[in-house]
A and B are shown apart, each in its own frame.
Chain A
Amino acid sequence: MLKIDKVSKSFGGIIATDNVSMEIQPNSINALIGPNGAGKTTLFNLITGKIDIDEGQIFIENNNITNLKETDITHLGIARAFQITNIFPTLSVQDSIKVALLAKQYGLNNMWNRFKAHSINNEAESIAKLSGLTKSYNTISSALSHGDQKLLDIALALALKPKVLLLDEPTAGMGPEERWKMIDRIQKLWKKTKMTVLFIEHDMDIVFDIAQNIYVLQQGAIIAEGTPKEIKSNKKVIKAYLGGGKK
């Protein structure tokens, strides 16, 4: 589904992404882990076209998306939610989702019909339901709780009906209870929509619990990949990341 082929990126001599190759299977849920500064978000930025790639290529299905524009990559089916919540503060949940729906699928060029009367209510409602935002459907985004803002960020990505969904630390800044709720939500979402998911996460319990496949990034390079079982017993990973104490 998503193929990353020997991708490298450096910023003024500092190597942020070092010859990374990944091949993500359709309908799978994958985790990307690694210590702070390992280059996880940079990799997301490279995939989504937010920053340009120095070397290597990226494909979605059979389309080469290397160094395409961010908007074009989005149209080819990659959507992302952000680590630092990235929403529209003065719009309500409902309006935010509708704007996202219109932005990609129907266009926002219509200057005459009323936005509020647009016949996408059902679609917007189902996305809110999928993201667990039904209760706060009419709330202004800036008044939402932190967790709900994160969910809205994901809902905006879902509105694009992506083939591949990239989630950058969906549980960042949450307490343990909220965290598991979020993970539960993501798992349900993945099962329902059957899209391909790649997420960044710090909590190992969560990663081992829901990911089918795990990629471990260190100093820009992939040092291991495999099922949770394989990763748990991988010596390199234990040494670099999980801490030597565990067996």
Chain B
Amino acid sequence: MKFLKKDNFHRDAFIGIFVWFFLIIFYHIFPHPGIHDIIQKVFILGLFAMSLNILIGYLGLIAFGHAAFFAAGAYTLGLFLQSNIVTNLGGFSIPMAIILAIMISSALATFIGIICIRLKDIYFSFLTLAFQMLIYSIILALVDITGGDQGLMGGFPKPPFLGIDLGKPFDFYAFTIFISIITIVMLRQLIESPFGYGLRMIRDNSERPASLGFNNQKHKLIAFIIAGSIAGLAGSLQALLDVGAYPEWAFWAKSAEPLFMILLGGMHSFLGPLMGALIFEVLNDFVTANTRYYGLVLGLVILCFVLGLRKGLLDWILIKYYRK
């Protein structure tokens, strides 16, 4: 197939659809719920990590508060589906809830972004962290709405739409992966667009663009909003999976997870964070099944990657075998 060699949208879309079909066939070949669960989570967390990598890998801004948007997406979806609107909307409530989750998290990202992108380096990182802890405190404080430290309890309905019933494991599996793949293909397009090269330019040299007549701040803000809204989408999918939302998702430790994934998978290759999510999830699953010392094992693995490979796994593979 000749067109597969060309780096363009058609190729990416083709690969995306192919992977989706492959994973659906995979579902039927290996009817083990544990494996399906891991794959779903890899895509959800992968989206989360890839959204953060827009900032870290392509823009060079290390954001410590990315989980704020993840939680915003999750709580928006949960609260929307628990409200009375669902009875009126019926089948369209889930797509509506997801769209709303993206909108609310992007609005939040706009607000936080306008303030944070003025700063650089560690100051930027810590300000994003401060905002995240603010969101965390708000979630804990608004017990009547969010359920406080118990999380969003009581579950919510998942009315079927377009013949998709997310209450069924297979439908959920296919839907989540489909949404994730579409987002990833679109993100790829964004990263390879002139806009994406503008991000690389700012990462490489934040002084020079001004002398090229180019406005850094606007570009950074848009990237921040896009990253926040994709994190919100990931959060809403996670809430759909767990039928609830928890304040830990807005805690700083949740922001560290995508950072670990990026470190494990690699920040300089597009799919690096997704691979990182796979390593992270597989570790999580197998290690917690066998020992209580999950943190210790994860720490050792990250040490091996950082000191041994000196880069994420996918970065390492690509450099070793493709970009000689």
Contacts and interface: CB of A to CB of B under 8 A. Distances in A.
Of A70, A103, A107, most buried by chain B (CB within 10 Å of CB) is: A103
Interface stretch (B21-29, B199-207, B237-245, B292-300): B199-207
Interface stretch (B116-124, B135-143, B189-197): B189-197
A208 B193 CA distance: 46
B14 interface: no
The main secondary structure of chain B at its interface with chain A is helix
Contacts of A174: none
A108 B208 contact: no
A110 B212 contact: no
15 contacts: A71-B214, A79-B211, A86-B211, A87-B208, A91-B197, A91-B201, A99-B194, A103-B212, A104-B214, A106-B194, A111-B195, A112-B193, A114-B9, A115-B193, A117-B8
B219 interface: yes
Contacts of B9: 114
B205 A89 contact: yes
A151 B275 CA distance: 39
B210 interface: yes
Given A91-B204, A160-B213, 20 more contacts: A48-B211, A71-B210, A71-B215, A86-B205, A88-B200, A88-B201, A90-B200, A99-B194, A99-B197, A102-B194, A103-B198, A103-B214, A108-B194, A108-B201, A109-B195, A114-B9, A114-B193, A115-B193, A115-B194, A159-B212
Interface of B: 7-9, 189-190, 192-198, 200-201, 203-205, 207-215, 219
A108 B205 contact: no
Contacts of B213: 71, 74-75, 103-104, 160
The main secondary structure of chain A at its interface with chain B is loop
A106 B198 CA distance: 12
Contact of B192 (A48, A70, A89, A116): A116
